[in-house]
Homo-oligomer: A and B are copies of this chain.
Amino acid sequence: MSSQPKGMSRRDLLAMVGMAAGASAMYSAMAGMGYAGTSDYKGPVKLEGDPKGASVLVLGAGLAGMTAAYELRRAGYKVQILEYREKAGGRCWTLRSGDSYTELGGYTQKVGFAEGNYLNPGPWRIPSDHYAVLDYCKRFGVKLEPFMQVNYNAYVHNTEAFGGKPQRFKEIQADYRGQIAELLAKAVKQDKLDEAVTDEDAELLVASLKRYGVLNDDLEYVKSEKVSEHRGWEKQPGGGVGAEPVPSNIISLSDILKGKLWNNLITGESIDHQAAIFQPVGGMDMIAQAFEREVKDLITYNAKVIRYEGGENGVTATYVDAKAGGAEQTVSADYCICTIPFSVLGQIEHNFSAPMTAAIEDVYYESSIKVGLEFKRRFWEQDDHIYGGISYTNLPITLISYPSTNFFSDGPGVLLGTYSWGAAAYQFNAIAPEARIEKALEFGAQIHPQYRDEFSNGVAVAWHRVPWTLGCYGEWRDKEKHYPAATAMDQRTLMAGEHISFLPAWQEGAILSALNAIERLHKHIIG
């Protein structure tokens, strides 16, 4: 599109492109006009027009449910929320000192962490392009602090490489980058890539690789002061006499390749993990608590929905007290926003249509395990000089994440000592919490020998055993086929939650799905 038809606003033009050629073409056009990277979230939702007393039942007081309830009430709806648990937040959840958690199967863990320490069993990071979460944090006064994803002084570890000795991320990063840059620079210089690179680009490419890979004038990545400034020194520079630094040896490309330590070099560079990235000060559920403050009066807690019916005249949910049991109770409303995970919803008696039922059944919930380990002191800072960030390993614990808060403090600290998925997670799911913790200790001690001496207590959450979700997040077997039915209004009900989004497992997906649902609901009602 080279020019803009006269008399058309940019908005008109975009609308026209949108209608003619579908969303993809429209966004390409937008990008050309400087709108790239657009988000679904455009600031606080505006639901204009009087809903004239319409009532909405919200099932579930997680972030999706509370977002819907909060915004619908502001728009003039009568809202109530049924929540299975004794508190709000759902997977936006933090375990801290004194908390008690009973999983499916009956194990109860009482959290013994010191005051101020915590584990976020669910979401633990907020990427800086998750505009909706960030905006609600701002509106509700949730204080955020940087989350350290990448730490060059953390370890990458493979039991089958380097004699099982953990290597520093910075060494593998610098040496891998340097040596692939050397290979490519020399290949270009030797005219081996003539058909792929023009002469003009070749010269610039070599210059760029020299800088990118920290190569010398002969395009070699070799032991030197310059290289040590990236991978670290053998002996660090000091002051006064005898202070000259000593360069460090390089790890050969072959050793890095065979050791598979390149595997996590770019883990922290995806848009979901790259800097800047944040966490709430004090634990992720600061967000849940902030939402809960806004909608607490709308929530019926401990309400286990056992039957759900919707239709032309409205919706009715039947529930019992999740703890005490007892008599069935019902609530009715004109419409419903249902945020109950499909894993749970599929087990509730309902009258959804066949396509919606098929959608519910299409979604399975991922397995995931997190183990929080409290140690008497922050040995990873004091001994290993690792302040925040993540070490990666091929052990079933997958990673060790160091706390991104209270750096340099004395006293106990909590590591995320396991965060595993799939097969690795199943090993942990099947055993008792204490055994999971023991497993996390046993494996983690291979990276940090201080584990045994310094361990204090731990807590382990296996998501397949979390009663209110039966898994970590919703995964579609055939999203293309079933997603349209899942998002359509069915029995006066709209679904919301991370599973009804293209940001599964993220709080942003939950909130955006709720905003999208209530906008459609409102349009439906106002007409």
Contact = CB atoms under 8 A, between A and B. Distances in A.
A265 B230 CA distance: 13
A88 interface: no
A177 B266 CA distance: 10
Given A128-B387, A208-B257, A150 B275 contact: yes
Interface string A387-428: 111000000000000001001100000000000000000000
| Chain A contact surface mostly | mixed
A234 interface: yes
B23 A503 contact: no
Interface string A479-499: 000000001000000001000
A280 to B, nearest CB: 11
A144 interface: yes
Interface stretch (A5-13, A245-253, A463-471): A245-253
Nearest to A264: B211
Contacts of A517: 239-240
A198 interface: yes
Contact of A389 (B129, B234, B276): B276
B276 A487 contact: no
A248 B37 contact: yes
A211 B268 CA distance: 13
Interface in A31-45: 31, 36-41
A138 B406 CA distance: 12
A152 B127 CA distance: 11
Contacts of A262: 208, 211-212
B193 A487 contact: no
A385 B257 contact: no
A1 interface: no
Contacts of A104: none
Nearest to A248: B36
B253 A27 contact: no
A184 B213 CA distance: 14
Given A229-B272, A248-B31, A254-B201, A235 B23 contact: yes
Given A212-B266, A232-B271, A257 B201 contact: yes
A38 B236 CA distance: 6
Interface string A154-190: 0000000000000010100110110011011011000
A243 interface: yes
Contacts of A293: none
A196 B186 contact: yes
A151 interface: yes
Nearest to A269: B230
Most B Cβ at <10 Å: residue of A40, A168, A388, A511: A40
Contact of A243 (B145, B180, B186, B512): B512
Interface string A358-379: 0000000000000000000000
A511 B239 contact: yes
A263 interface: yes
A131 to B, nearest CB: 7
B501 A40 contact: no
A239 to B, nearest CB: 3
B146 A388 contact: yes
Interface string A509-521: 1111111110010
B170 A153 contact: no
A278 interface: yes
Report, nearest first, the 10 A-B pairs whose CB atoms are least far apart. A240-B516, A40-B238, A239-B513, A239-B512, A237-B502, A239-B501, A204-B257, A152-B274, A276-B387, A208-B262
